[in-house]
Amino acid sequence: GLTYDSKENPMLSGSRLRKRLDRLFCHLDDFELESIERVGMDPIPGVTYEKETKMKKKPAQSVRLPVLPSDHFGLLLKISPRS
């Protein structure tokens, strides 16, 4: 999945960037991939911030946005010893 996604991450309002910027490279002969998933996609409960939005031909407005752990979604890699 995308790790920097302005459509899924409300902290990135005003951006149109949607990329897989974060990756994991791993070479471990004695282990195998169990799973990989994106994490940090849920807002922190009760935490918001205000941001001023600028739109063409309209006055700037202040909007309240949720706060996520980061502007990038994290990657959680799980490995297990090779059988």
Q: For the chain, what percentages of helix, strand and coil (3-state, to nearest 5) are there?
A: 5, 45, 50
Distance CA 9, CA 22 (A): 15
Taking 80 as the threshold, does the pLDDT of residue 14 lie above it?
Answer: no
Distance CA 40, CA 9 (A): 10
pTM for the full model?
0.67
**Please, are residues 16 and 6 in contact by the beta-carbon 8 Å criterion?**
yes
* pLDDT, tens digit (0-9, with 9 covering 90-100), for 25-78: 888 899 999 999 999 999 999 999 998 877 778 888 888 889 999 888 989 999
